[in-house]
Amino acid sequence: MNTQSRREFLKTAGLLGAGIAGIKPKEAAASPVNIVSDDRMGVLVDSTVCIGCRQCEIACKEEHGLPVGSLDDYMDRTLLAEMRRPDTTALTVINEYPNPKNPDQHTDLKVQCMHCDHPACVSACIVGAFSKQENGAVIWDESRCIGCRYCMVACPFQVPAFEFDKALEPKIMKCDLCYDNRTSKGKLPACVEACPQNALIFGKRYELLQLAHQKIQDRPQSYFDHIYGEHEVGGTSWLYLSNQDFASLDFPDVGTEPMPGATEPLQHALFKFFIPPVALYGLLGGIMWLGKGNKAEEEE
């Protein structure tokens, strides 16, 4: 109750201050868009259905204006023997792993940005270039980015990629859930639309979770009883079902606490309410005061 009233007081004070300075309250709030909506969308990846045809890779490149290359190259399955990561040339990739339930087949897995509910990149970005939109998409704003690459360090899944080879205007490249041209307009992401197996299901995150739980319940013999992304790093928009333990599929064990949880309060507290300048000048003043005292003693 106490803190609430204090918070209320500060809010009003802030608003008043902003009003006096002639700034709208929205602009006065420096923190970026970071919405965790109840109706946020997500994608459920049923890796037991995925066949690794790589149609999603092609669709993603076409959607984002990246060079697709020869379509015949995507039929070549020899490169699936090695693990790949999304990079500046491919925002999503398919990896292949042994299938313990059927030695004749493999488990295929699509990898891209997980679109965390509490994204570390949004928290780490010092200029607010990253944002979590209301529909769940975590996107990057080119006009704000200063190229510090803190997002790359912060990401628990090591997804953001940087165009190191570009001297001018290098971009941070990662899956944007096709925010600009598709999902913000109620359309499906390009990869989901392209999937010939419907291994990717786009929908409201809470509905996808219901569906995923129902799938495990209906066919317990086909699934490993875990939905990766339900609780990982406080929940992600992309959810995965698999036939085996996620540790054997190169999914990192990231815990269930949101990544920004540890750093953000500290970081934000430091920069809020002019603590650093006040502390710095306070310290300097203190030293000066102490020095003055010493001098006075010497003089005596």
Partner 1 sequence: MKQRLTFLKTILFALTLISGALAQNAAAKHHSEFPLNCQECHTCKNPTFEKPCLRITPHLIRKGAPSKHSLKEAPEKITIDLLSNKYGPVVFSHKDHAAMAAMGDKCESCHHHNPPGKILACSSCHDAKSNQPSGQKPSLKAAYHQRCIGCHKSWDSTWQKKTQCETCHAKKGSTPLKIRKLVNPSFPEMERAKIPETFTYKSDNEDAPIVTFHHGAHATMYVDKCETCHSNETCADCHGSKVKEREISHETCESCHDTESEEKCGLCHDQKQKPSFSHQAYGFTLDTTHAQFECKVCHLNRNFDKKPQCLNCHHSYHFPAQKPGKAVRVIKKKKAEAK
Report which residue type is found at 172.
I
CB of 60 to partner 1, least distance (A): 17
Q: Give me the sign of the Cα torsion angle 175, 151, 246, 211.
A: negative
Upper half-sphere CA count for residue 54 (Cβ side, 13 Å)? 21
Indicate the residue among 104 and 253 with the shorter CB distance to partner 1: 104
CB of 74 to partner 1, least distance (A): 8
CA 54 to CA 195: how far, in whole Å?
Answer: 9
Q: Using the structure block, give the residue that is written with the tokens 């786009």.
A: 202
Classify residue 119 by burial, with Cβ atoms within 10 Å: 0-12, 13-18, 19+.
Answer: buried
CB of 204 to partner 1, least distance (A): 7
Indicate the residue among 73 and 245 with the shorter CB distance to partner 1: 73
- Residues 6+ away with beta carbon under 8 Å from 6: none
- Contact set with partner 1 (CB under 8 A): 41, 49, 51-53, 75-78, 80-81, 96, 102-106, 188, 192-193, 195-198, 201-204, 207, 210-211, 214, 218
CB of 131 to partner 1, least distance (A): 22
Indicate the residue among 174 and 215 with the shorter CB distance to partner 1: 215
Indicate the residue among 67 and 196 with the shorter CB distance to partner 1: 196
Question: 166 vs 55, 75, 91, 104, CA distance in Å?
Answer: 28, 30, 17, 43
**Residue 17 token pair:** 């201050």
**Residue 72 token pair:** 């015949």
CB 162 within 8 A of CB 13: no
CB of 115 to partner 1, least distance (A): 15
CB of 196 to partner 1, least distance (A): 5
Indicate the residue among 143 and 221 with the shorter CB distance to partner 1: 221
